[in-house]
Chains A and B, each alone.
Chain A
């Protein structure tokens, strides 16, 4: 019994540890800058979770992270280190925004479906190339997907400064989407929108898929031991390409939901690195669905609280970036090993 329990305890500690270490580092920085770390943290917790509106703000902020975290987790689970969700997020956001402002007369369900579906399709196709290159020629997917991010940001930025620039706008932004294309709000007047529910449902579906389906079984085997998977007749290459496409589709969907649910248009600098935060989330979560949900909400709280503490105190918002960065560093360090070795 103890033996069966121990690894889980170690996993739990391993997942919590990056936050603890990051908070410690943040505390040092805050202290050095002349703030009182504990009171800043108390303020952040209050701003993140104190009351219905603040929780709604946190969940809104966690919505894109749920999906980019999911995109990364799907890939990592099959042993593919896809870092291309950021690019898919941009492409998906732009695609959905274009559909969102071009069909004001369509029924809402149709235009929403078209926007989300097209964004997922674009995202999936975007990563088909890296998937095939890895499967056929062994080209490192980290390099290809990372580079494609820059291309995606470049393409969307060009489009939004040229052909798709809203008339009369000086900034790089598309026209606002039509009313029929906005994802409905869940808790007006807060900004929490249907996209959160969709994202949450997808992450839960991922959890079910991973544990209870043939596809999930195969992806797990390919991810943990590709030689074994091949030897028992599963083709790792196929799983790999499929994984890449699905991961890209989820990344595209994340952008679409962000555009249709919150921003209501596509703008230059559309994502403050949601795709990369998603990588940290998946690593922290060890690819588990529950972990993705918890980590997304924590990261969401961090960014939503960060915005408001800047309003109510003179603590600079950069502290949030320090915390996020530190969590990422420690998340990749696989701290769970420390406990496992000791235990």
Chain B
């Protein structure tokens, strides 16, 4: 299993470039990962980490340059080819079959076969036992994957790679969904696997974890490698600087005094479940006044998605009340939420924020097609629709061919501008915004931040959820931290710092 010690680079890349249209996702990347090491790749959103990992795993292909395995340039034909060469990946999303047991999930696609072509369960259990011992974890193999705790599922994903004989493990943000104690366990397991001679590529943007476990660290920014270092030669601050670059400090939107008066939006004892039926949110109380941006900080899966969906009227709460301007919206349809003055910018641009196959014009007026400006007696007024879309887009400095082109013809950042402009054109009272600048470049981010701040200054109320603390700190007048579905702290802009918010997000108390 362990590669010959003569090999200097177990896995890596040489002058590897990958373009998506005009965007250079990976720009002449050189990467050398020595066998038997934990090599961390850090970088902000859009740095090109995921693209690089997809290429190393054979899911995507470079436009120029090559993947290197065991010092040799190779052309991977696909993920199966990568696997045959010992490279396996654990994705951010779980790739398990929920109704199958953990044991069944483990052996899936490489079942030990005994007499008469039947599955040799004894052998399967034996191998599973060995792996569990290796991981130092007590695993109840008969548990269904759907019922297993998240950290067990995460460990199973890794054991499955080992079971199938991978000695290079690519772990894409494996700690994002774990609690602190579980993170420690996972890092320990990674260390053990490394000591046995396996090679681990660890993707994370949690720098303290990276410092704890890495032998080597590669920092990426905007598609390039900007630093190569080791944990002993650097520190969290230096890494953070390398990740962010020398750009001017984030444009800080001026904070405002908390407006007085009755709240525009008000939720009481709000609770909600995720699509699988797990309690994710609540109970929480939340007030937002007109002219105020309330930011929500949380590690993924702590209820912020459900909070957004409830506030936007997409998801019916399991309990609690929602009022907007005094109007009771409990159990109301999305259409009624919108009629009451709620605008919604979805984190999922491709499936909820826009209809990518529909034209720019259709996207711009969608939801308002009944307005007399856009239809008469049930018949659309295409000229008016096109003109309105053209006017709307003109203010966004978006380059486009024609308003009849599909929304998919826009770049990701411009798609987001379109989605936000559509919502603002409806003159809402409350704007619910989730991840407004995910995958958006710096100029686009500043533009979108200004749109949101302008809306606030004109008296709008904003509920902002973002995985980027910088964004929350730049925009929010108040920041709420969610942990395990409950509000673990509330800070005004002036009190909030990355560290304090980070602690509250993890359910710890703010430093005294």
Contacts and interface: CB of A to CB of B under 8 A. Distances in A.
A231 B314 contact: yes
Which of A214, A215, A233, A234 has the largest number of chain B CB atoms within 10 A?
A233
Contacts of A337: none
Contact of B312 (A212, A217, A221, A231): A231
A213 B334 CA distance: 22
Which of A215, A217, A228, A231 has the largest number of chain B CB atoms within 10 A?
A231
Contact of A228 (B337, B354, B375, B379): B354
B352 interface: yes
Nearest to B367: A232
Contact of A235 (B334, B352, B375, B379): B334
B338 interface: yes
A224 interface: yes
A224 B367 CA distance: 15
Interface string B338-382: 110000101010011111111000100011011000010011101
Which of A214, A217, A232, A234 has the largest number of chain B CB atoms within 10 A?
A232
Contacts of B353: 228, 231
A228 B380 contact: no
Contact of B339 (A215, A225, A233): A233
A214 B375 contact: yes
A230 B334 contact: yes
A225 B407 CA distance: 13
Interface string B212-256: 000000000000000000000000000000000000000000000
A227 B348 CA distance: 10
Interface string B307-342: 000001010000000000000000001110111000
A229 B367 CA distance: 8
Contacts of B356: 225
A214 B378 CA distance: 5
Contact of B367 (A213, A227, A234): A234
Range of interface residues on A (Cβ < 8 Å): 10 to 19
A233 B335 CA distance: 4
Interface in A199-236: 212-215, 217-218, 220-221, 224-225, 227-235
A215 B352 contact: no
Interface in A267-311: none
B43 to A, nearest CB: 30
B378 to A, nearest CB: 5
A220 B333 CA distance: 20
Contact of B344 (A229, A231, A234): A231
A227 B346 CA distance: 10
A18 B375 CA distance: 38
Interface residues of B, number: 30
Given A220-B358, A221-B358, A233-B334, A228 B378 contact: no
A231 B337 CA distance: 10
Contact of A224 (B314, B338, B352, B355): B355
A246 B377 CA distance: 20
A325 to B, nearest CB: 31
A63 B109 CA distance: 51
Contacts of A234: 335, 366-367
A214 B369 contact: yes
A217 B334 contact: no
Contact of B351 (A228, A232, A235): A228
A301 to B, nearest CB: 33
A235 B333 contact: yes
B334 A225 contact: no
B335 A224 contact: no
Contacts of B352: 227-228, 231
B334 A228 contact: no
Contact of B366 (A213, A227, A228): A228
B457 to A, nearest CB: 25
Contacts of B357: 224-225
Contacts of B380: 212-214, 217
Contacts of B358: 220-221, 224-225
B402 to A, nearest CB: 9
14 contacts: A214-B370, A217-B369, A217-B380, A221-B355, A224-B355, A225-B358, A227-B351, A228-B353, A228-B354, A229-B355, A229-B366, A231-B314, A231-B334, A233-B335
Q: Which 6 A-B pairs have the closest CB atoms?
A: A232-B367, A233-B338, A233-B335, A225-B355, A233-B367, A232-B366
Given A214-B375, A231-B353, 6 more contacts: A214-B379, A217-B380, A231-B314, A232-B366, A233-B334, A233-B367
